[in-house]
Amino acid sequence: MLTVGLAMLQGARHEHAEALRGAAAELEVNVNIVECRRASHVSPELDALILPGGESTTMRIASQHESLLHAIFDWMELHPHRPVLGTCAGAILLSSPGEGRQPFLSATIERNAWGRQRQSFESAVEVILDTPSGKDSTAPEAQRDIFDHLPLEMQSQAAPVLDDGFPGVFIRAPRFVTNGLSCTPVAMLGEEVVGVLDGTKLGLTFHPELTIDRRFHRWLLHQAGQSKEVK
């Protein structure tokens, strides 16, 4: 059983939970998802953590009351080998945690660098990360949710599994400043780096949880299993 914390800061949290369940089914492992709303939820039991997208400024402000972000960053410093997936605003928080802390992703990231919400877009992304393969979840039957419902046809078409890449959904996305980037690029949009790996911290400027291609969530679970073994 793997225990994954999901930072309930703001933004696309439920989609991440869904994606994690899907990835766990694909890998045939059990996952326990802990919704982290308060500092006390960020326990040493967590094998991995997800920092979802949203609005990073709002997240910082919203978390002040419960010291949630503070607890999350403490947890990351205490357990440097446990994997963390930060998507979009989550990647911003990883690269600029603030509070006088060292960045968890040694990359500079520029917020809203593609423009406004209207300039959000979808485009195929090339993934150069070793991700464990899983059972095929693209068949309609495999997409049933916890209520045993199939997704809207429109929705499954909007987030296809692409043969030639990963369906990158960019929503008011940030951009990595690649000059002097010292972590490993793992996802590319043409020449542009849109995903980086720094040790066990993975930062993506797009939203993998809005697609049915679960390979980044499978990566997280796989890494979590590995770091558990060496514990």
Query: Catalytic residues, which ones?
Result: 88, 207, 209
CB of 53 closer than 8 Å to CB of 90: yes
User: CB of 71: closest distance to ligand GLN in angstroms?
Assistant: 20
> Which residues inside 104-123 make contact with ligand GLN, applying CB under 6 A?
111-112
Is the Cα dihedral 218, 222, 227, 231 positive or negative? positive
DSSP state of 110: E
Strands (E), the chain: 2-7, 31-36, 48-51, 84-87, 108-110, 121-127, 166-170, 175-177, 184-189, 192-198, 201-204
A 10 A CB-CB count for 36 gives 27
- Please tell me whether residue 10 binds ligand GLN under the rule CB under 6 A: no
Burial class (CB in 10 A: 0-12, 13-18, 19+), 100: exposed
Q: Determine, following the binding rule CB under 6 A, whether residue 20 of this chain makes contact with ligand GLN.
A: no
Q: Is 97 in the site for ligand GLN (CB under 6 A)?
A: no
Which residues lie below 8 Å from residue 153, measured CB to CB, with a gap of 6+? Answer: none
The Cα–Cα gap between 165 and 160 comes to 10
Give the footprint of ligand GLN on residues 58-87 (CB under 6 A).
none
Q: How far is the CB of 39 from ligand GLN (least distance, A)?
A: 22
Quick one: which of 114, 66, 64, 110 has its CA closest to 89? 110
CB closer to ligand GLN out of 69 and 88: 88
Rule CB under 6 A: choose which of 24, 27, 36, 88 binds ligand GLN.
88
| 157-216 binders of ligand GLN (CB under 6 A) | 171-172, 174
Nearer Cβ to ligand GLN (24/89): 89
Backbone angles phi, psi at 18, to 5 degrees: -60, -45
Minimum distance of ligand GLN from residue 88's CB (angstroms): 3
Q: Site for ligand GLN (CB under 6 A): how many residues?
A: 13
Nearer to ligand GLN, 53 or 167 (CB): 53
Kindly state the smallest distance separating residue 107's Cβ from ligand GLN, in Å.
15
Q: Which residues bind ligand GLN (CB under 6 A)?
A: 11, 53-56, 88-89, 92, 111-112, 171-172, 174
